[in-house]
A and B are shown apart, each in its own frame.
Chain A
Amino acid sequence: MIGLLDVLLPTVILTVSAMLTLPILTVIRRRNSHHRALAVLWIVVPFSAAALWIIHLSLEYYGSMGSQPFVFVSFAPGEEAHLSSSFLVDAVSIYMVIVYLLMGFASCLYGILYIGFEEKPSERYFALTFMVVGSVMAATLSGDLLTLFIFWEASAAGSCFLIAYRKRADSIEASIKYLVMIVIASGFIVYGLSIIYGLVGSLNFWVVRDALITAPDKRLLLAAFLFVAAGYAIETAVVPFHMWLPDAYTAAPPSSAAFLSAIVDQASYYVFMRVLVYILTPPEVLNWPVALAVFSALTMTVGNLFALAQRDVRRMVAYVCVADIGYNLVAITSVKPLGVMGNLFFFFVGGMTTALAFMAVGIVNRLGLKTLEDFAGVGRKFPLTSIALVVAALSFSGVPPFAGFIAKYLVFTAAIEAGMAWLAVVGVLNSVLQSAYLLRLIHYMYARPAGRRVRGGEPRNLLIPVYIMVVAIIVLGMYPAFALDLINPAALQLSLLLS
């Protein structure tokens, strides 16, 4: 039996340790020796505590899954359950929480090594990363639209600080823009939720879902969908709602960009998927997949074309993030178990790959090298970093031994199964485009002579989190069953739901 505590404890652990981070890092800083080791240890402890609890939760869940694939945990059990705030544990959310933990750990490690905790307000930075991971986890486990909304906005508020951390002109501007977009999005969402609440009288996922299937008024439903989808589209950065994303990821410190693309981005895709596929599933209620398919084609194409036009490498990676959203949307629009599999695998792989790219680019950025021309000759001066970047690039463009290939394969198969072959064609053509500009980057790194500013050695310790990602990408590419075994139950559940 899964209790409220089982679900909430990981979030509580991370939040409490976020608050403890402030005094603890101050104490560590006063000590004379072993600064860095202790700081890293402080990252490890809360994450492993949360991981233990998640393992406990998943064992508990999988132990009793046969009887009940969707476990609801409510603040007010009994009759009133559908009116209270609640949590939902199923294979999808458990998978996502595990993914956040793994990627959160790697990117926090990178963060503490990159930002350097000697820097004065850095304890706030680490506290916020804990907080964001915690609230994203709670958002993922939430079982009604209200809980989802609240935890999701909390993580958005946290990520805004991560963008503005260095308080440079561009990062402050970018975070203002980000936040304004988020507030507009939340306005839209509340607007849409109000209509749904008016129609249904509850915000619980399943109650909403059942009620919508028999909803009498299509027009109101359409308005509700419009606002909710637009709101979450802004937060997910679907084209044409995407414009905050490149600015934010370019202006943020590289460690924040890696963290956000690994965690918050993937979580926003998850939320998009959960709301659309699980709550608004039956396309006979509202035929949304075609509309979304158009957006997904637009997102892929615009993302890749704009990435092609960039000179700033980090901005290019940011546009690759935008293109990734398009690929995710392809899978979402299929509304098939295979699509869910593709999605969940793509979340993981896409998050790792973008995070890896931001981490590797960040190492080079430290020297003030930003544009493609600056990257000339980096391949020889920073061999290990460059190889990591090459791995990320190849995984992006879907070259087989890397995990990106399996992810794209799943996504396109899902699209074809759903009868949207044109979308798969657009996606596949986009892959060619993607490999073109990524090869251009590789070309600059290896074939051009190095500029004078390329000097100094590679920071060894920063390469640890980078190579964790590299190894994970290769292993998942060779043997994707590690992740797919976790995903399979989720696909089965969706087919249960659809039948």
Chain B
Amino acid sequence: MDYVILSMTLLAVGIYGLVTKRNLLKVLISIEIIAAAASMNFVAFASMVGGSLGQAFLILALSVDTTLTAIIIALVVVAYRDLGTIDIWALSRLREVRAARRRGKRR
């Protein structure tokens, strides 16, 4: 039960981070916290049931998670290199700025 409470807390922390942080790296960390919460919950329940499927699933889920995180990191790098920012609000404002700049160039 303790593990479940801990994983719930971690989930809440992760979501809180996602809502409030604007730095992409911090967003990434929040995501990792959510993933860790889920995995930990799985470990807790799997140990209750016993058997090997839980472990297999956990490894697969972790690898899927890692893959997705790797892709996000790649995108963050691209964002930083090409657009020069990793601030999510700046990014969504950048759309307009970039579009304006591109229009300027075309002229």
Chain A in direct contact with chain B (Cβ < 8 angstroms): yes
Task: Judge whether A328 is part of the interface by a CB distance below 8 angstroms.
Answer: no
Q: Of A181-189, A348-356, A420-428, which binds chain B? A: A181-189
Which residues of B have CB within 8 Å of A167? Answer: 78, 82
Bound-complex Cα distance A65 to B46 (A): 36
CB distance A176 to B95 under 8 Å?
Answer: no
Among A154, A183, A197, max chain B CB count under 10 A is at A183
Q: Which of B53-97 contact A (CB under 8 A)?
A: 53-54, 56-57, 60-61, 64-65, 67-69, 71-72, 75-76, 78-79, 82-83, 88, 91-92, 94-95
Q: Of A145-153, A376-384, A469-477, which binds chain B? A: A145-153
The closest CB in chain B to the CB of A146 belongs to: B57
Q: Which of A163-181 contact B (CB under 8 A)?
A: 164, 167-170, 172-173, 175-176, 179-180
Bound-complex Cα distance A156 to B39 (A): 20
Task: Judge whether A83 is part of the interface by a CB distance below 8 angstroms.
Answer: yes
Which residues of A have CB within 8 Å of B12? Answer: none
Q: Which of A117-173 contact B (CB under 8 A)?
A: 146, 149-150, 153-154, 156-157, 160-161, 164, 167-170, 172-173
The closest CB in chain B to the CB of A192 belongs to: B38
Which residues of B have CB within 8 Å of A149? Answer: 61, 64
Bound-complex Cα distance A179 to B31 (A): 11
Q: Within the complex, which residue of A146, A187, A191, A201 is in contact with B49, where a contact is CB–CB below 8 Å?
A: A201
Chain B 19-39 against A: per-residue CB contact (8 Å), 1 yes, 0 no? 000001001000100110111
Knowing A176-B24, A179-B72, A186-B64 touch, does A191 contact B38 (C-beta < 8 A)? yes
Chain A 184-204 against B: per-residue CB contact (8 Å), 1 yes, 0 no? 101110110111011001110
Shortest CB-to-CB span from B99 to chain A, Å, is 8
CB distance B18 to A180 under 8 Å?
Answer: yes
Bound-complex Cα distance A160 to B92 (A): 18
Task: Judge whether B51 is part of the interface by a CB distance below 8 angstroms.
Answer: yes
CB distance A173 to B79 under 8 Å?
Answer: yes
Which residues of A have CB within 8 Å of B75? Answer: 160, 164, 172, 175-176, 179
Bound-complex Cα distance A170 to B102 (A): 13
Chain A interface mostly? helix
Which residues of B have CB within 8 Å of A153? Answer: 64, 67-68
Bound-complex Cα distance A157 to B72 (A): 10
Which residues of B have CB within 8 Å of A197? Answer: 42, 45-46, 49, 53-54, 57
Bound-complex Cα distance A186 to B32 (A): 12
CB distance A202 to B31 under 8 Å?
Answer: no
Shortest CB-to-CB span from B92 to chain A, Å, is 6
Among A156, A176, A193, max chain B CB count under 10 A is at A176
Shortest CB-to-CB span from A163 to chain B, Å, is 10
The closest CB in chain A to the CB of B48 belongs to: A198
Q: Within the complex, which residue of B39, B44, B56, B99 is in contact with A190, where a contact is CB–CB below 8 Å?
A: B39
CB distance B49 to A184 under 8 Å?
Answer: no
Q: Which of A213-233 contact B (CB under 8 A)?
A: none
Known A-B contacts: A149-B64, A169-B95, A188-B38. Give 7 more (CB < 8 A): A83-B53, A160-B75, A168-B98, A179-B72, A190-B39, A197-B57, A201-B49
Q: Which A residues lie at the B interface, using CB under 8 A?
A: 83-84, 146, 149-150, 153-154, 156-157, 160-161, 164, 167-170, 172-173, 175-176, 179-180, 182-184, 186-188, 190-191, 193-195, 197-198, 201-203
